[in-house]
Amino acid sequence: MSAPLHDLGVAELARRLKTKEVSAEETAKHFLARGQAHASLGAYLATDEAVTLAQARAADARIAGGDTAPLLGVPIAHKDVFVTKDFPSTAGSKMLEGYRSPFDATVVRKLAEAGAVTLGKLNCDEFAMGSSNENSAYAPVKNPWDTSRIPGGSSGGSAVAVAARLVPAATGTDTGGSIRQPASFCGITGIKPTYGRASRYGMIAYASSLDQAGPMARSAQDCALLLSALCGPDPDRDSTSLDLPAEDFTRELDGPIAGLRIGVPKEFFGAGLADDVRAAIDAALKQYQQLGARLVEISLPRTELAIPVYYIIAPAEASSNLSRFDGVKFGHRAKQHGDLLDMYRKTRAEGFGDEVKARIMIGTYVLSHGYYDAYYLQAQKIRRMIADDFQNAFKDCDVIAGPVAPTVAWKLGEHASDPVADYLADIFTLPGSLAGLPGMSIPVGFGAAGMPVGLQLIGNYFKEGQLLNAAHRFQQATDFHLRKPEGF
């Protein structure tokens, strides 16, 4: 008996669609039904069967016409940070409840051009601020490996949808780890490309100098397919998108990794790293040695500083970006209000959640006169040093490997009385984000309570192909990426 549709990866599904073994409409219906059957996970914020089926039928027509676009008929879903004209776009915030964008984000448009069919919009932390998805204004998302645990954040809905086989792949965004960390916590694969590879047009902004889009799927091969479709310059719409032609990231997948120098940063293996995570990471590194890679000890001496630096820069940029939500142009407007100033005040008090408000206040503070030099400017200087540390390390290695997070996914509500605990858990993803480097997470084992553990791979600028190659070779030799939570 052949595997059910939802167990197929993007590559295999695309092949069956192309050869008409299965239609895009049938495929879309299958996945929509799965989404409904597992609605209690909280992964979706919006679905629209009519829209999805219309897209699927259009894909079937393209297939019938001989179109060879790479993702024709493949269902995907988007983190609700990407604006879409056919679905509401909320960024997980009440501020944008019911908001309809007049256009599609570039990433959404490019994936649609490649033939992907949109199943809906996925839950996330409000304005992508968080590490547990508990900051969503709508519903917490549950980790399918243990529904009493968080899925990670902020792209928690994306990670859960892929892990629970509600969709073969999803988009995510990563500002300080939001693709890599939920991928790690849910046992899937995700890649954040070099800053600027993917257009930020239509990605609701959190911290513009850090925000980057990327795919989340079950394997490196599937991520490579999606990444190839969603990257590319967008000079008219995002001036920070890199002027590099779109690449075929599947090209390097099968290359040999014998002799690959894997840098292991000693700062990623300190006292804060949980034993179960350490054991899984050590085993993965051994596996790489068996595949012919060489481990090299390296140092990223400013790793700890990445936390204060990021939590100054990101809120600073957020406070500026979120000033556009004033009740005039977008989304929520307070019903009862006095003059204009009162309208702004009430709208923002009602529309934003606590974490977002906290960050707006921190950001405004560090940018204010008298504190700008002491905090913001200082943080920018250390940011540069962190980026330099990576360049120093890349003299001795090709790829850097270590944990994604210090622990496995924690329990829902576990950090409720200690919000800083969430910030500290970002320690291993923030340095690469501040440097703008590509990074990914691949499942490499299970820790306490059977929860997945991800290995982080960080590459030098524009080396996504090399990262995906290293990940793919690991996945050819192991089956962690094929395991799925019980009952799914």
Whether 154 is catalytic: yes
CB 427 within 8 A of CB 307: yes
CB 273 within 8 A of CB 397: no
Stretch that binds ligand GLN, among 175-183, 281-289, 373-381, 476-484 (CB under 6 A): 175-183
Strands 169-174 and 75-79: parallel
Stretch that binds ligand GLN, among 33-41, 57-65, 123-131, 462-470 (CB under 6 A): 123-131
Catalytic residue among 89, 154, 155, 158: 154
Instruction: Give whichever of 262 and 318 is closer to ligand GLN, judged by the CB atom.
Output: 318
**Token output for 50:** 């009519």
Instruction: Give whichever of 364 and 476 is closer to ligand GLN, judged by the CB atom.
Output: 364
Residue 192 CB, shortest distance to ligand GLN, in Å, is: 8
Binding to ligand GLN by residue 435, rule CB under 6 A?
Answer: no
Instruction: Give whichever of 173 and 347 is closer to ligand GLN, judged by the CB atom.
Output: 173
Residue 307 CB, shortest distance to ligand GLN, in Å, is: 10
Would you call 1 exposed, middle or buried from its count of C-beta atoms within 10 A (0-12, 13-18, 19+)? Answer: exposed
Instruction: Give whichever of 117 and 128 is closer to ligand GLN, judged by the CB atom.
Output: 128
Task: Give the residue, chosen from 86, 222, 317, 426, that forms a contact with ligand GLN under the rule CB under 6 A.
Answer: 426
Phi-psi region of 363 (alpha: psi -120 to 50; beta: other; left: phi over 0): alpha
Q: Is 309 helix (H, G, I), strand (E, B) or coil?
A: helix
Binding to ligand GLN by residue 176, rule CB under 6 A?
Answer: yes
CA atoms within 13 A on the CB side of 42: 22
Residue 6 CB, shortest distance to ligand GLN, in Å, is: 27
Task: Give the residue, chosen from 80, 86, 174, 398, that forms a contact with ligand GLN under the rule CB under 6 A.
Answer: 174
SS (H, E, C) 159-202: HHHHHCCCCCEEEEEECCCCCHHHHHHHCCEEEECCCCCCCCCC
Binding to ligand GLN by residue 178, rule CB under 6 A?
Answer: yes
CB 27 within 8 A of CB 5: yes
CA-based end-to-end distance of the chain:
18
Whether 208 is catalytic: no
Report 234-253 residues binding ligand GLN (CB under 6 A): none
Stretch that binds ligand GLN, among 47-55, 122-130, 141-149, 389-397 (CB under 6 A): 122-130
Whether 299 is catalytic: no
Binding to ligand GLN by residue 212, rule CB under 6 A?
Answer: no
Residue 170 CB, shortest distance to ligand GLN, in Å, is: 15
d(CA 38, CA 43): 9
Instruction: Give whichever of 212 and 241 is closer to ligand GLN, judged by the CB atom.
Output: 212
Catalytic residue among 23, 93, 158, 178: 178
Q: Amino acid identity of 471?
A: A
Can you state the angle between helices 378-393 and 306-321, rounded to 10 degrees?
130
The CA-CA-CA angle for residues 321, 324, 328, to 5°, reads: 170
φ, ψ dihedrals at 313, nearest 5°: -65, -45
CB 64 within 8 A of CB 157: no
Task: Give the residue, chosen from 128, 305, 379, 444, that forms a contact with ligand GLN under the rule CB under 6 A.
Answer: 128
Catalytic residue among 79, 142, 192, 463: 79
Tell me the number of residues near ligand GLN by CB under 6 A: 14
Q: How many beta carbons lie within 10 A of that of residue 54, not counting itself?
A: 15
The CA-CA-CA angle for residues 302, 303, 307, to 5°, reads: 105
Report 300-329 residues binding ligand GLN (CB under 6 A): 314
d(CA 113, CA 135): 32
Residue 404 CB, shortest distance to ligand GLN, in Å, is: 12
Which residues neighbour 65 within 8 Å (Cβ) at sequence distance 6 or greater? none
Binding to ligand GLN by residue 134, rule CB under 6 A?
Answer: no
Task: Give the residue, chosen from 101, 158, 175, 184, that forms a contact with ligand GLN under the rule CB under 6 A.
Answer: 175
Instruction: Give whichever of 154 and 228 is closer to ligand GLN, judged by the CB atom.
Output: 154
DSSP H stretches of helix in 327-369? 340-351, 354-367
**Token output for 222:** 């599937």
Report 46-75 residues binding ligand GLN (CB under 6 A): none
Q: Is 319 helix (H, G, I), strand (E, B) or coil?
A: helix
Instruction: Give whichever of 79 and 302 is closer to ligand GLN, judged by the CB atom.
Output: 79
d(CA 470, CA 488): 28
Stretch that binds ligand GLN, among 11-19, 170-178, 270-278, 333-341 (CB under 6 A): 170-178
Task: Give the residue, chosen from 52, 118, 123, 131, that forms a contact with ligand GLN under the rule CB under 6 A.
Answer: 131
**Token output for 402:** 């270590």
Contact track, ligand GLN, 378-417, x by CB under 6 A: ----------------------------------------
Instruction: Give whichever of 9 and 454 is closer to ligand GLN, judged by the CB atom.
Output: 454
Task: Give the footprint of ligand GLN on this chain (CB under 6 A).
Answer: 128-131, 154, 173-178, 206, 314, 426
- Catalytic residue set: 79, 154, 178
